[in-house]
Amino acid sequence: AKRHARGQHVFFEPGQQQDLLEQQFLQHQLAQAVQENLLEVYYQPILDAQTGVIRKAEALLRWKHPNRGFISPAVFIPLAEESGLIHPMGRWVCETVMQQLKTWDAQGLPEVAVSINLSARQFVQPGTIQNLLEQLERHNLDASRIIVEITESVFMQDHGVVEEQLSLLEEAGVKIALDDFGTGYSSLSYLTRFNPHYIKIDRSFVQQLDSQNTSTIMEAIISMGHHLNKEVVAEGVETPGQQEWLQSRNCQYLQGYLFSRPIPAEAFADLLKDPPDG
């Protein structure tokens, strides 16, 4: 079967009837889960690489299935995209994140910005960006508190629509992160075509830093980011060795299991209150 990049249609070949039924079943259950409020937003800290202070969090959806346990967003996001459920889900994620930011603010916690993932489909869907901006206004939150993470698959959508959404965000002051950087086919040309504030280096690079070729490429990406005035975030940092390497190259932000997995909002608040030493 041809599995396209994440965030796009998944096509099944006839031999995969079993799979297809399974997918349809899950799709049905997902719709129910949305209604029954069985989705949750988890937060993964993003640290300032030099100080170790938590500056941001990435919002990551979780589906707690009653008898299958956690189902990975890598599985259910594509299903939600096929059924269109992704759109109400996305609005719910934005609303939940903004309410959470207000709650943390009210608790006097240090201010963080939260990045929200938008798939290509979501990004070009009429209303997605307007809705996000309305929600910011309604919650009286500064635009700097939300970052929108997109992948280059967005640029395979209608260019006019993409430009429109980008300029809406830019006018409002919402920054964009180019996610999974380096894994696509033409990331470099997109850096010149629009202006992401952050580049998130995909974890596949971070995890191969011990290869000479990969570390050379990483050095080039970080230095290019600096020259283009972009802030570089490294994802998937799992070892102190990777952390040191990234710190010494002045990569600005670090995210990964070494610091914390994605965790529920309350646990994240505890981390903000009481950061671990280091």
- Nearest Cα to 53, choosing from 264, 270, 232, 277? 277
Q: Which residues contact 50 (CB under 8 A, 6 or more apart)?
A: 247, 252
Work out the burial of residue 139: count CB atoms within 10 Å of its CB; fewer than 13 is exposed, 13-18 middle, 19 or more buried: middle
Tell me how far apart the alpha carbons of residues 87 and 248 are, in angstroms, rounded to a whole number: 41
Least distance to ligand C2E, CB of residue 216, Å = 22
Least distance to ligand C2E, CB of residue 149, Å = 6
Instruction: State yes or no: residue 222 binds ligand C2E (CB under 6 A).
Output: no
Q: Which residues contact 3 (CB under 8 A, 6 or more apart)?
A: 10, 11
Instruction: State yes or no: residue 101 binds ligand C2E (CB under 6 A).
Output: no
Instruction: State yes or no: residue 81 binds Ca ion (CB under 5 A).
Output: no
Instruction: State yes or no: residue 122 binds Ca ion (CB under 5 A).
Output: no
Binding window for Ca ion (CB under 5 A); candidates: 13-21, 27-35, 93-101, 147-155: 147-155
Instruction: State yes or no: residue 85 binds ligand C2E (CB under 6 A).
Output: no
Binding map of Ca ion across residues 42-71, x = CB under 5 A, - = no contact = ------------------------------
Largest interatomic CA distance in the chain: 56
Least distance to ligand C2E, CB of residue 101, Å = 15
- Nearest Cα to 178, choosing from 225, 213, 245, 135? 225
- The nearer residue to ligand C2E, 24 or 72, going by C-beta atoms, is 72
Residues binding ligand C2E (CB under 6 A): 6, 44, 60-61, 72-74, 77, 93, 117-119, 122, 179-180, 203, 235-238, 255-257, 262
